[in-house]
């Protein structure tokens, strides 16, 4: 049985004082009642060091939303895995659809980042997912397959233990239109089967596959009940302690 992992992707939200407010609220609400659920928060870069300080002594883990694949150098505007580690991060989201669509990230670039994150001791949350157009053209399976293969090129089976995959259909992100539990489960099953073929069934069975895309307190339980959905990557609903806590609680009971 895989433990559930719920991650909050804050995106470009929350300044320092808002970070303090949200994390203090979250710590009070979540308290010690996490059960077997692992909670991760991914604030913007500017809030990471403060978040690490505020989360000291808590079981909530810290992640970043992106990184570059070098340790240092002339890469204006970029942040390295070494910097993320020193700010207190354990996780890093890579290949989010907003990075792919708005900032032109390719499978090749994402693969470089995944390799570098692993080599630096960060645990990548690798995002994949089809657009509405791709779903309507019935090419969801091909798109997701090529994203998974592209992001994981030359990743060893030992390293797979340190990777989370997040399936996030682009048409469901920030739109209020979540995938039905069945639609999500179908793609999660496909991803697990693919990992089984690329590696072996032991690796596939251990892999945590999160669902993301308009996860809210009122749909989380149904999604998390599916046998191949091992957690959620939550955007909008993680910005308030109340709604994020409710999602965490629904993971605790399924």
The answer to whether the beta carbons of residues 12 and 44 sit under 8 Å apart is yes
From the CB of 214, what's the least distance to ligand PGA, in Å? 4
For residue 42, give the 3-state DSSP assignment: strand
Nearer to ligand PGA, 122 or 234 (CB): 234
Nearer to ligand PGA, 140 or 214 (CB): 214
Q: Specify the DSSP element, H or E, that contains 176.
A: none
Angle ∠(89,253,202) on CA atoms, nearest 5: 65
Nearer to ligand PGA, 9 or 147 (CB): 9
Nearer to ligand PGA, 203 or 237 (CB): 237
From the CB of 145, what's the least distance to ligand PGA, in Å? 21
From the CB of 40, what's the least distance to ligand PGA, in Å? 12
3-state helix, strand, coil in the chain (%, to 5): 50, 15, 35
Active-site residue numbers? 96, 168
Please list, residue by residue across 92-130, b when 16 or more beta carbons sit within 10 angstroms of its beta carbon and e when fewer do. bbbbbbbbbeeeebebebbbbbbbbbbebebbbbbbbbb
Cα separation of 43 and 65, whole Å?
7
| Rg for the chain, CA atoms, rounded | 17
Of 254, 252, 250, 253, nearest to 237 by C-alpha is 250
From the CB of 239, what's the least distance to ligand PGA, in Å? 9
Nearer to ligand PGA, 199 or 211 (CB): 211
From the CB of 32, what's the least distance to ligand PGA, in Å? 26
The answer to whether the beta carbons of residues 232 and 223 sit under 8 Å apart is yes
- Which stretches of the chain bind ligand PGA, using CB under 6 A? 9, 168, 173-174, 212-215, 233-237
- Output the CA torsion sign for 130, 189, 7, 65: negative
């Amino acid at each position: 049985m895989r433990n559930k992992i719920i991650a909050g992707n804050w995106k470009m939200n929350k300044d320092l004082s808002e970070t303090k407010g949200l994390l203090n609220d979250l710590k009070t609400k979540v308290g010690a009642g996490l059960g077997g659920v692992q909670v991760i928060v991914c604030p913007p870069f500017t809030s990471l060091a403060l978040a690490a300080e505020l989360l000291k002594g808590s079981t909530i883990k810290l992640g970043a939303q992106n990184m570059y694949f070098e340790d240092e150098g002339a890469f204006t505007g970029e942040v390295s895995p070494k910097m993320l580690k020193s700010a207190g991060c354990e996780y890093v989201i890579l290949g989010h659809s907003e990075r792919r669509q708005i900032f032109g990230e390719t499978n090749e670039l994402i693969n470089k980042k995944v390799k570098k994150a692993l080599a630096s001791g960060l645990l990548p949350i690798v995002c994949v997912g089809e657009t509405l157009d791709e779903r309507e053209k019935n090419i969801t399976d091909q798109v997701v397959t090529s994203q998974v293969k592209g992001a994981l090129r030359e990743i060893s089976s030992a390293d797979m233990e340190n990777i989370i995959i997040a399936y996030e259909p682009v048409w469901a992100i920030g739109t209020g239109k979540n995938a039905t539990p069945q639609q999500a489960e179908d793609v999660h099953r496909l991803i697990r089967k693919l990992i089984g073929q690329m590696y072996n069934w032991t690796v596939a069975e251990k892999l945590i596959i999160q669902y993301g895309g308009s996860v809210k307190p009122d749909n989380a339980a149904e999604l998390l009940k599916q046998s191949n959905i091992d957690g959620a990557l939550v955007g909008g609903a993680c910005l308030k302690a109340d709604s994020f806590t409710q999602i965490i609680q629904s993971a605790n009971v399924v």
